[in-house]
Amino acid sequence: LPDPGAIQFWMGPDAHVLHYAIGPHAEQINFFAVLEGPDPWTGETGPTETDPGTLARAFDGWSPGVVQMLTAVPQSPRWPLYTLPPMTRWSRGRVVLLGDAVHTMLPHHGQGANQSIEDAAVLADLLAAPGALDGGHTAVFDRYQRLRRARTRSIQRSSLVTSGLLHLPDGPAADARNAGLTGLDPWLTWIHGVDARADTRPVPD
């Protein structure tokens, strides 16, 4: 691999791989390989055993370092990736949802856990505000949904669109995607550069 210690993304027709070092001394490599299909999915809702050599066949002809990494371990079970439409109502009575329970995301932006944390921080701020519960939970839960709905829907939609962009065949569309990757960091500031608590963080005395 060009740099085994770095986070690296490899993209190609109908597949992509993300890998990064883990462990106290970065002595191990964790990878996440995604394949298109089968269509339709006929397995269970969780991991399903798959034929030996599935990864090797899917990535045949890719960079030798990638092939060596993928074939250095036994064939793993295969997981389906699911997404669901965003929910229109996030609470009922004293029960309120956050994270993937209310805005399920594909993993292509790595935002499933992050958006759960943002949801929790905003909700905690709203609940902790002086007098917040004087009128009951409904008003707090409604404001929480209003503050979080547009952002989570935008990220959820972007993660779905990104799925197709990662698996483009060679051609003009892939060339345009690759050119855009040179500006990836500033492009992603709309996800990573936002203060989710800007409207709810308590003001110091």
Answer whether 31's CB lies under 8 Å from 73's CB.
Answer: no
Q: Which entry of 9, 20, 31, 62 is annotated as an active-site residue? A: 20
∠ CA 141-142-143, rounded to 5°: 90
Handedness of CA 163, 107, 120, 92 (dihedral sign): positive
- For residue 99, give the DSSP letter: G
What whole-number distance in Å separates Cα of residue 76 and Cα of residue 51? 9
Supply φ then ψ for residue 161, to 5 degrees. -65, -40
Directed axis angle between helix 112-128 and helix 137-166, to 10°?
170
What whole-number distance in Å separates Cα of residue 191 and Cα of residue 169? 27
- Amino acid identity, residue 168? L
Q: Is 20 a catalytic residue?
A: yes
DSSP 3-state assignment of 34? strand
- Residues marked active site are found at 20
